[in-house]
Amino acid sequence: MSDIFLSEILVLSLLLFPSLRPFSKRLKKTPAIALFPLFAFVILIFIVLGQGLFFSLLPIFIITLICIITEISRFAMMLRDLPNNFYPIHSMVLRVFILLLIFGAFFTTFYFSPEREIDCSMANAVREPLEFTIADKKVSAGIHFFAKQEKNENAHILVLDNFSNSHENGNSISRYFMNANYSVTELTNFNPSFRRSFLSLDIKRHKQFSLALNEFLSSLGIQNKRIPEKILQSEFNLALSKTVKEIKNGRKKHGLREDVFIYVFSESADNEALYEYVSKHPNDFEKVFFLLDEASLDSFKQKLKSNNGENLAFVFDERKASDFSREEALAPYCVYIQAKNKLSRYGDLRGDDVLAAFCLGSKRDLGREERQAVARAFEKYLSF
């Protein structure tokens, strides 16, 4: 089971006791139950610090605050050694309402529980941090996974993940290739100058959560849609060039072939910056797989045309019952199109935070298995 799922169940279980207390003689004899909502709130804080921000925590957070407010007077009576086991009718009715909220939260917690992680034996790979030095400052940029027995000793996979601090052992795409015994590097920090906010440094999933929340509130008309901050091309280029060097250095360190083909997997936010880079450094990568949704296709096509690259890429639309030919797969670029509700630019959001994906218009059954299908298409493309 997912750690976040078990944590949510623990918090909701703590909230049950003070809400059930008016209806149980045994619970009425335990005045310290008034403290349980405070314990639940502290646990929520540690969940956020340890596991990150999730949409599924929002209703639990709201219910916890309601429970704290309703128990404040009883908490004060407990501190003054006064009996706090008398509940008037209106107080009992209020707790019936809170119980309904808690049971509703239990249902959503189970229904929108995170999908099981893709199995990946870390025994098959050596995990190392991807680090490089910029202006005498060491930058944590991502993770290396060097296979102990490579399926293809001539290939190395580079995965560009939009969201730093989201996965300690790689996202679903990285894990797929690790299971297939490829060496993989996951690049998550495109900001070599390390200009980051306190939140983005210390709280996991901050960027992913804020982007999803911004888009959800905009769809409800609560706020104007804010355009996400663009990656600076100069910083992106520097991070990517450093990563290429570190891949070669790391492979040499582990006794793997240094002169290999690097195949890149990229999702929406990085696609244009990556294309700018490969246009100027065509020898750094063998093939590039661009994943984007239908809404981004026209603008990205214009990008390709403006750089005279229309004959260097082919477009494969996942929604159509077709397959790419060997001739197409020999092109250095593949543009892989998904339906908008698959939220391609959000990475593993559909598997990690199912409620957030649902709020953004995705379906409940679109998760890690679908991500695996994308990885299989990428593997087929690079194998030609």
- Tokens (6 digits) for 320: 């159509």
pLDDT over 90 at 98, yes or no: yes
Single pTM value for the model: 0.87
Average pLDDT over residues 264-290: 89
Give me the residues paired with residue 143 across strands. Answer: 129, 186
At position 166, the amino acid (one-letter code) is: S
List pLDDT tens digits, range 340-355: 888 888 888 888 899 9
Q: Residue 95: what are its φ and ψ, rounded to 5°?
A: -75, -25
CA separation (Å) from 48 to 43, 66, 94, 105? Answer: 9, 19, 29, 18
Q: Are strands 287-293 and 313-317 parallel, antiparallel or unpaired?
A: unpaired
CA separation (Å) from 266 to 113, 157, 300, 347? Answer: 27, 11, 13, 10
pLDDT over 80 at 156, yes or no: yes
pLDDT at position 229 is: 72
pLDDT over 80 at 325, yes or no: no
Instruction: Report the range of poorest mean pLDDT among 188-197, 238-247, 326-335, 372-381.
Output: 188-197
pLDDT band at 285 (very low <50, low <70, confident <90, very high): very high
pLDDT at position 271 is: 87
DSSP string, 155-204: EEEEEE-SSTTS-SS--HHHHHHHHTT-EEEEE----TT----HHHHHST
pLDDT at position 225 is: 73
Mean residue pLDDT of the chain comes to: 85
Q: Which helix (H) or strand (E) holds 4?
A: helix 3-20
pLDDT over 60 at 199, yes or no: no
| Residue 284: DSSP 8-state | S
pLDDT band at 86 (very low <50, low <70, confident <90, very high): confident
- Tokens (6 digits) for 101: 């909220």
pLDDT at position 166 is: 67
CA separation (Å) from 205 to 57, 64, 188, 274? Answer: 13, 22, 12, 23
CATH 3.40.50.1820 fits 122-383, yes or no: yes
pLDDT over 60 at 198, yes or no: no
pLDDT over 70 at 239, yes or no: yes
Please list the residue range(s) of the chain that carry CATH number 3.40.50.1820: 122-383
Average pLDDT over residues 294-309: 69
Q: Which of 314, 267, 264 is nearest to 286 (CA)?
A: 264
At position 335, the amino acid (one-letter code) is: V
Q: Which helix (H) or strand (E) holds 126?
A: strand 125-134
